[in-house]
Structure 1
């Protein structure tokens, strides 16, 4: 017998799904309906929708997924980073792919004080550190600059695949990522 998750988890699950499929502007009522919880639970657990959206981004596990893909590729820094682009090709080819939830939230939330902005920046900085660490291990002469280049490629793939999925932008970006590694030779 499986136990039904509590209201907090149901709110997170519903918000994670709906903010990805419909955007962060999805209505509170839709989230509450899908989570099957009272409005009071939203305020008790998250202080409101803004807190819920921030928690969805904080708890999404995006960096863990990047690390898992890289770890599965072995120990060679170049192969670890290129594996990210291979995985992005798989992800962006899925019919349900709707882009990067972090970038979408950053663009949609116009209030500069919204707590989600800090979560987006934290994720992007973490991804930058992850890429810079691999470039450092590879012997890249400017790992921070190289990580900036890789993030531009990753963000470009995630944006471009929304409008032109058949173009398979991750494959084009993979070739450019190889050029970033060639700089360290």
Structure 2
């Protein structure tokens, strides 16, 4: 249970929802979130207007954390090519962790079938920002096709995250790194 006496109901709801949505999926019942956060239903409506608002805010918060993780993973080398390839080594560590449950953005998109659900806008914003981060790295190495190659790298990242959720520890991010090197080196 999220029991931080210093945290107010809004923060406890966010922490509980982020944890439960990641471990059990965004379709988890709001009752479970309220119980985990130890708050009344009224707090959910006061702070987020309902579950859709909570899901949206959790995605915004997770997006900032995840993008900071990508930035940190890229910081392991000085040359853009090595930074990009090193990212896949960090992805391998991530997907090999016992607590890894897959890509929260992919899972969220699957959880909400309605195409106009606000969660889809948030997952798209995250993907666009990750794409832009990859483009930045490719432009730093004067890659002739940064947009196309960023799209290829992004596909490899998402594929590694999805395959990693299946368990078995096949190291999909390391296989993706080999393909990333081909995409990066293609001119």
- Give TM-score scaled by structure 1 length: 0.94
The residue correspondences of 1:87-126 to structure 2 (distance < 5 A) are: 87-126=90-129
The residue correspondences of 1:9-158 to structure 2 (distance < 5 A) are: 9-60=11-62, 61-71=65-75, 73-158=76-161
Native 8 Å contact 2:21 2:27 kept in 1: yes
Consecutive unaligned residues in structure 2, runs of 5 or more: none
- Give the distance between the partners of 1:161 and 1:150, measured in 2 at CA: 16
Residue 181 (structure 1) shift: 1.7
Q: Give the aligned length.
A: 182
Is the counterpart of residue 180 in structure 1 residue 183 in structure 2?
yes
Residue 3 (structure 1) shift: 4.8
Native 8 Å contact 2:103 2:161 kept in 1: yes
Give a deviation string over 1:47-89, Cα, whole Å, max 9, x none.
Answer: 1011101111101121111011112x13211111112111110
Q: After TM superposition, which residue ranges in structure 1, 4 or more long, deviate above 3 angstroms? A: none
Structure 1 counterpart SS, 2:26: coil
Give a deviation string over 1:76-110, Cα, whole Å, max 9, x none.
Answer: 11111112111110010111111000111011111
Structure 2 counterpart SS, 1:37: coil
- Give the distance between the partners of 1:158 and 1:124, measured in 2 at CA: 13
- Give the distance between the partners of 1:136 and 1:6, measured in 2 at CA: 43
- Give TM-score scaled by structure 2 length: 0.94
Native 8 Å contact 1:140 1:183 kept in 2: no
- Give the distance between the partners of 2:169 and 2:23, measured in 1 at CA: 20
Consecutive unaligned residues in structure 1, runs of 5 or more: none
Structure 1 counterpart SS, 2:169: helix
